[in-house]
Chain A
């Protein structure tokens, strides 16, 4: 079973996404900031992370940088999401595989998930 780590400081949206992903047959885990997510990622080595950009403690960009710098996550795909436009984020960080502007439709997310890691 493919593992997905959902990282969002707005815990409600992270939990909802996790439930949807579990219904689709994935193993989904939640974290509320980049630091907590990093601990979990090192433990489970997810196939995919869906990470929010603005978070306390460690933001999404810093978390993704840490993943990219660690070879054990060489195959982990990163979907970054934010309420901000992508252009505003790309100025600071571009090391993700896909970007979703919040609020997004679940179909758009599932299409990306399937494209990156299949079922």
Chain B
């Protein structure tokens, strides 16, 4: 006798949710035949989430029923849902139905409600059942009654191969009787940060698997809900040691490469170009981008200057981007810095990198990320994970960062940025006997030698180039200085 009992236990199948990103944070989807609570205040997206799961199940050939108690009227719900892309009128009535069970609850209590649910599961043979309004069901019922109700629901769900979603806006801030019984607890939130609100989703309990913990941002638009897993929870593996000095990637400026021992920046490294407005950060980025080829494609993520303006700017310096875009060597991507979450931007960025096998990336305006976050304490971990992931994907990154001081010899690094820098270039203006000069200083290069000192920088119709050494007093020699962390703790110096 060699067989063991575990050989006979098959894993529970998952129910794909059709909510982008949700299955990722659940580690593959809800477990079929599970009973889950989806909770949150009115307006946080419970109804849309549950409906999206229903319609997704129907689209895959299943059937679903949406049972309401004291909730939004069915006709109004259908009116609202009909504006969403997943709404499918053909699903009615064979594959999807909205029914009310409030009368049964009111006349026969939880037993009457259970009878409706049991009958709907059996007669319609549904794979997903939603009960909207658990609060109404629990009013007047004892904790024991409610536990028995959920226990019975779990038993029926298994027998009928049906996954059950219980929607509620109650008991948000305490562990209630029903929380202890269900297989999972998903909480939605719409939180205000000054004038801006951010939606989030959190899996607070999930039997049978380890979800991606913590809050993840969420968007609701015409396609319904999209979840953006927090990048720190997705990419927890340290960067492989791909940043080496053995292989150089040209900066796109021959005279700048000439200052670097390997004649370029190390492949898969992260370079930050820091400087005040007008010093040439975007121009340096355009040079770097212009060196892209179809074999080593480039991507430009801009937060402030749109693609047309960039093309025009590049053209004026003899760096026409249009032919590179036509050949597939370059893609320009623009992102508003104000109405997207950092995770949404990171997801879009990493998807674009994967889609074209990008090897050169310019992020023009790191402050765009900084402005997009409502949790500043996250930013150090966020950047660290994003840059690590880009390194793992063998992407060489050049990022620009604007400083406030137009004329300064101090490089103020926002908290969170200093730790991700392999290479740091400082651009600035100096006054010199009535003239204003642009200077470039290489402050640090990881794993490779470079020529330190102050270099004159010229920008003309041929683009940017180094125009000799600048000699000056000691007070213009730059020094790197990270600013304080959001928590007030002393940040570690840049690596």
Interface residue tally on A, bucketed by range: 20 to 34
| Chain B residues closer than 8 Å to A84, beta-carbon distance | 78, 89, 92
Q: C-beta contact mask, B90-129 vs A, less than 8 Å → 1, else 0?
A: 1011100111111110100000000010011000000000
For window 119-143 of B, CB contacts with A under 8 Å fall at 119-120
Judge whether A9 and B79 touch: CB under 8 Å: no
| Chain B residues closer than 8 Å to A105, beta-carbon distance | none
C-alpha spacing A32/B79, complex, angstroms: 22
Judge whether B74 and A54 touch: CB under 8 Å: yes
| Chain A residues closer than 8 Å to B79, beta-carbon distance | 83, 103
- Minimum Cβ distance to chain B for residue A83 (Å): 3
Judge whether A10 and B74 touch: CB under 8 Å: yes
C-alpha spacing A85/B93, complex, angstroms: 12
- Minimum Cβ distance to chain B for residue A55 (Å): 6
Known contacts A9-B103, A11-B103, A32-B103; A59/B75 CB under 8 A:
no
C-alpha spacing A55/B78, complex, angstroms: 15
| A9, A32, A53, A89: most-surrounded residue (chain B CB, <10 A) | A9
The count of residues in chain B whose C-beta lies closer than 8 Å to any C-beta of chain A is 26
| Secondary structure call for the A interface | loop
C-alpha spacing A54/B97, complex, angstroms: 6
B492 within 8 A of A: no
Q: C-beta contact mask, A12-42 vs B, less than 8 Å → 1, else 0?
A: 0100000000000000000010000000000
B469 within 8 A of A: no
A106 within 8 A of B: no
C-alpha spacing A37/B106, complex, angstroms: 18
For window 65-97 of A, CB contacts with B under 8 Å fall at 82-85, 88-89, 92
- Minimum Cβ distance to chain A for residue B279 (Å): 60
Judge whether A56 and B92 touch: CB under 8 Å: no
| Chain A residues closer than 8 Å to B78, beta-carbon distance | 83-84, 102
- Residues of A whose CB lies within 8 Å of any CB of B are 9-11, 13, 32, 53-57, 59, 61, 82-85, 88-89, 92, 102-103
14 contacts between A and B (CB under 8 A): A9-B99, A9-B100, A10-B100, A10-B102, A11-B102, A54-B92, A54-B97, A56-B67, A56-B104, A61-B93, A83-B75, A83-B78, A83-B79, A85-B89
